[in-house]
Amino acid sequence: DQHSLSTMLTALDGRGYASYKQLTGSYDLGNLRLSVDKVQVDPFAPPSLMRLRVSRTQAALPAELLSDHHGRVAAGDFLTRAFAARLRTGREEPEDRSAISIGTPGQQVLERTSVLITQDFIEVRIAVSLPAAGRRALGRRAARLLTQTLPRIAQDSLLGAGLDVDALRDHVTLYRDQAGLRSQLTDRGLICFLADGSVLPRRAGDSDHPLEGDVVAFRSPDALRVSFELPSGRTLTGMGVPEGISVIVGGGYHGKSTLLRAIERGVYPHVAGDGREWVITRADAVSIRAEDGRAAAGVDISPFISGLPSGTDTRSFSSTNASGSTSQAANLVEAVEAGASALLIDEDTSATNFMIRDERMRQLIPAEHEPITPFVDRVRPLFTERGISTVLVAGGSGAFFDVADHVIVLQDYTLRDVTAQARQIAMENPTSAHTSAADPPAFAEVAARVPRRGSLRPAKKTKPARSRGRETIQYGPEDVDLAAVTQLVDVAQTEAIAKALDRLAESADGTSDIAGMVTALLEQVEAEGLDSLSTHRGHPGHLARPRAHEIHAAINRCRSLKILDAPVRD
Ligand code: ADP
Ligand code: MG
């Protein structure tokens, strides 16, 4: 078989590129089985999709590391990284190695389709750019690539001496410990945990790697110090941010945003050495920011904005170009609809008029002439009525002192609890009452939003949705802009959401609601695996698991979306 593949490819040498098509099929390469699922039509098309399978007995990975879902996710991530590292450093021809890709995992450990581990086999899913000279097939080079380079790299990274079993064990143990800690947060009444010694700052604005050099390691303030016992037996000490309302204050540049950003990323587990591997946040904490210009469809933003001079009904608000405050309100309400139990908000990325209104302005403009009820008046009801906590960065305003359960200050990157002081200041400088127990509930039950039949598919859409980088999904003639969806961290997640959109467009039958559709899709992924998001049999593409919140975020940013019974405006 190895022979026949080699012979076939050699015979293609110098022929038209399209003759590679006949490669489709499966081949035995020693103890590996190569399946060619999809062959590119020309050298500039997306690369060809192939899988390499090895039996579990051949691979001989310690069974106890693969015995649970967490173990398989971590081991799959480990093998993906090992394969990618081997592609960068092998002694094979660089042009052969650079023709092969398995995706590039970042600092987060995500469930991925790049390596599938089952009872019987381990399968590596790769993309291969088949070699060309102009529009001719370079069959001989392809033969070397597929029958020599590729098997050798797979041997080394999956089977041979290149597989570092101790490192694999550490990787799996860390991931299980992180998941174990996260699973205890709710019972302990915590939103997140940051271990003492963590390194939060990043090297640069566009880098997700830890800052080196003059770093102040994280240290928990006495008042919020907690300990966790991990499944491995290890004990960790650090800060637990409790449920309720926590406000982070401090001077500019003292590290507030860095702390909040680490908490925001803590919904995902990070690799050892990242500095944030022991920053663990509830999986359903959602970052909320202003995003002017976004589209919104049928969102009930009336707890925050009502009585617009135009007469617009904000219980079902639609816009093609939302303002700073309305976009932040929509982001918040949609996060609640998607099941968020905690909100993370930074003053740097918030609309001021959404967050606060000061005393003087309250005196000049009476409440009945101000459509916006600022977040400072709603953050308490959000917790008391809906059980949703908030962690907030506010260095520029003491308005939240009255409503905060905890106020912590960052000074020179070091935390201190100043709740008592902040309360004292609030008492000595009273503001007009924000809300009182006598007020009617601020938040109605979130109404289910049902997309109109077909409205989840833009007009004139023919091709499947696909990702273009982390921030964009090309969806027919429209681009879904996810730049402001900051907890989407990997292009493979974006690609998975693109596939999800195509699936959900089909199930938008005019009776199903968004939350129900997303839940059903994720239940299917849970039961059948991440591969099932793809309609292709065999290689599913390079997908990583997104959270429900980011799928919701993509749906909500589709400009074609129309909600049933919501008045259409623009
Ligand atoms: P703030 O939001 O309070 O204005 P930032 O979080 O933006 O401050 O941080 C300001 C700068 O300080 C950033 O360049 C950041 O990388 C750096 N920084 C933050 N935390 C630390 C730390 N613990 N040690 C060293 N530098 C830090
Ligand atoms: Mg900041």
Return the amino acid letter for 57: T
Phi then psi for 281, rounded to 5 degrees?
-120, 150
Beta carbons of 153 and 97 less than 8 angstroms apart: yes
Averaged pLDDT, 429-444 = 76
Say yes or no: CB of residue 253 within 6 Å of ligand 1. yes
pLDDT tens-digit readout, 145-179: 999 999 999 988 887 767 899 999 999 999 999 99
**pLDDT for residue 479 is more than 60:** yes
Q: How confident is the model at residue 569 (pLDDT cuts 50, 70, 90)?
A: very low
Q: Which of 293-297, 432-436, 507-511 has the lowest mean pLDDT?
A: 432-436
- The SS3 of residue 174 is helix
Q: Where are the domains of the chain?
A: 2-163, 186-284+341-445, 466-556
Average pLDDT over the chain, rounded to whole?
94
**How is domain 186-284+341-445 classified at the architecture level of CATH?**
3-Layer(aba) Sandwich (3.40)
Half-sphere exposure of 492 (CA within 13 A, CB side): 22
462 conformational bin, left if phi > 0, alpha if psi -120 to 50, beta if neither: alpha
Q: What would the two tokens of residue 431 be? A: 């503001």
In ligand 1, the atom with minimum distance to the C-alpha of 252 is 4
Q: What would the two tokens of residue 211 be? A: 């800052």
**pLDDT for residue 434 is more than 70:** no
pLDDT tens-digit readout, 381-428: 999 999 999 999 999 999 999 999 999 999 999 999 999 999 999 999
Query: Rounded to an integer, what distance in angstroms lies between the CA atom of residue 267 and that of residue 193?
Result: 11
**pLDDT for residue 41 is more than 90:** yes
Half-sphere exposure of 406 (CA within 13 A, CB side): 25
Mutation test of ligand 1: which of 216, 258, 348, 391 has the most ligand atoms closer than 8 Å to its C-beta?
A: 258
Query: Rounded to an integer, what distance in angstroms lies between the CA atom of residue 202 and that of residue 195?
Result: 17
Query: Rounded to an integer, what distance in angstroms lies between the CA atom of residue 393 and that of residue 236?
Result: 26
Phi then psi for 145, rounded to 5 degrees?
-60, -50
Convert 85-123 into a string of H (helix), E (strand) and C (coil).
Answer: HHHHHCCCCHHHHHCEECCCCCCECCCECCEEECCCEEE
pLDDT tens-digit readout, 215-224: 999 999 999 9
Note whether ipTM > 0.85 here: yes
Q: How confident is the model at residue 570 (pLDDT cuts 50, 70, 90)?
A: very low
216 C-alpha to ligand 1 centroid (Å)? 10
Pairing of strands 48-55, 32-38: antiparallel
In ligand 1, the atom with minimum distance to the C-alpha of 261 is 6
Say yes or no: CB of residue 76 within 6 Å of ligand 1. no
At how many degrees (to 10) do helices 491-507 and 548-556 cross?
70
Say yes or no: CB of residue 199 within 6 Å of ligand 1. no
Say yes or no: CB of residue 215 within 6 Å of ligand 1. yes
Q: Whose CA is nearest to atom 25 of ligand 1?
A: 215
**pLDDT for residue 457 is more than 90:** no
pLDDT tens-digit readout, 252-271: 999 999 999 999 999 999 99
**pLDDT for residue 567 is more than 60:** no
Q: Percentage of the chain with pLDDT > 70?
A: 98
Mutation test of ligand 1: which of 196, 253, 415 has the most ligand atoms closer than 8 Å to its C-beta?
A: 253
484 C-alpha to ligand 2 centroid (Å)? 16
Compute CA distances 45 → 104, 496, 535, whole Å.
20, 20, 19
Averaged pLDDT, 316-336 = 97
Nearest ligand to the CA of 250 is 1
Nearest ligand to the CA of 411 is 1
Rg of the chain (C-alpha set): 26
Compute CA distances 525 → 416, 503, 520, 533, whole Å.
43, 12, 9, 7
pLDDT at 461: 74
Strand order in the sheet with 406-411: 285-288, 342-346, 389-393, 245-249, 406-411, 414-417
pLDDT tens-digit readout, 229-246: 999 999 999 999 999 999
Say yes or no: CB of residue 258 within 6 Å of ligand 1. yes
**pLDDT for residue 568 is more than 60:** no
Q: How confident is the model at residue 433 (pLDDT cuts 50, 70, 90)?
A: low
- Sequence-distant (≥ 6) Cβ neighbours of residue 139 within 8 angstroms: 9, 10, 11, 12, 13, 14, 15
Instruction: Count CB-CB contacts under 10 A for residue 448.
Output: 13
261 C-alpha to ligand 2 centroid (Å)? 10
Pairing of strands 466-467, 414-417: unpaired
Say yes or no: CB of residue 272 within 6 Å of ligand 1. no
**pLDDT for residue 278 is more than 50:** yes
pLDDT tens-digit readout, 97-136: 999 999 989 999 999 999 999 999 999 999 999 999 999 9
348: DSSP letter: G
In ligand 1, the atom with minimum distance to the C-alpha of 199 is 23
Phi then psi for 246, rounded to 5 degrees?
-115, 130
Q: What would the two tokens of residue 262 be? A: 């680490």
